[in-house]
Amino acid sequence: MDWTWFHRLASPPHIYRVAGTLTPWFAWPAGLLIVSALYAGLFLAPPDYQQGEGFRMIYVHAPSAWLSVMIYGVMATAAAVGLIWRMKVAHAAAASCAAIGASFTFVSLVTGMLWGKPMWGTYWVWDPRLTAQLVLLFLYLGYMALRSGIDDLGRADRASAVLAIIGVVNLPIIRYSVEWWNSIHQAPSVMKMERPSMPFDMLAPLLMMLLGFTLMFAAVMLVRVRAEVLRRERGASWVKEVVS
């Protein structure tokens, strides 16, 4: 098997060029999908028979919650690749994911609280799903704090990678907490083995928003990867050529 493609991923100039080329291909579809999904979800989808108009929070809350978990998985995978194969670009990708993942996690918590008040009568309960999601936010913040607290870049990469890998244990807890413990959080209605329980006119905008958020993450991460690579390689000759 030809592993040339894998070795090229370790090349900062190659990653910088590829990221710049791919960014608009993710950004423009993301914008179109998000705008379309918001319009369809807020104005075209019918109200829920139990939650009424309040269910429309799902079009921001659910994709944000999904992205918060998915991004952590991407971050931990990139950190593991950097730790095992000593690829600086992989560490740069992991570092680029952290702030984006923390933002989606924060949005999921805030929208969940706003949704929970009219549905549960309170903004916050120490529900297993909510608590695990809060732990996820602390893991993101801890990862960023650890990176910024160590001056030596190599040591910061290794230490933060270990933390990211350890934190993966929280992901299945988030996913299955509603099934494992007595939870007031709504059970999965889309991500389940059998057919989704949502009607199509409600489900379609949600899937569009999920795809739009995913593409937006990819676009933003690529922009951040380019900035991180430039920061790490600022003394290299190819960076001087790019800047000039």
Cα separation of 27 and 7, whole Å?
A: 27
Question: Which structure tokens are listed for 173?
Answer: 């807890």
Cα separation of 35 and 212, whole Å?
A: 9
Q: What are phi and psi of 97, to 5 degrees?
A: -80, -30
Q: What pTM does this model have?
A: 0.91
Inter-residue contact 180 to 127 (CB < 8 Å): no
Q: How many CB atoms lie within 10 A of CB 170?
A: 18
Going 172 to 174 to 175 to 180, the CA torsion angle's sign is: positive
User: What's the Rg (C-alpha) of the chain?
Assistant: 20
Interhelix angle 128-149/170-180, rounded to 10 degrees, is: 170
CB-facing half-sphere around the CA of 16: CA atoms within 13 A: 18
Cα separation of 130 and 211, whole Å?
A: 23
Short-list 91, 80, 68, 90, CA closest to 170: 68
Q: Structural domain boundaries of the chain?
A: 54-188
What integer pLDDT is reported at residue 6 of this predicted model?
Answer: 62
Per-residue pLDDT of the chain (244 residues; tens, 9 = 90+): 555 666 677 789 999 999 999 999 999 999 999 999 999 999 999 888 777 777 889 999 999 999 999 999 999 999 999 999 999 999 999 999 999 999 999 999 999 888 887 877 888 888 888 899 999 999 999 999 999 999 999 999 999 999 999 999 999 998 887 676 666 556 555 554 455 567 888 999 999 999 999 999 999 999 999 999 999 998 888 988 887 7
What integer pLDDT is reported at residue 185 of this predicted model?
Answer: 55
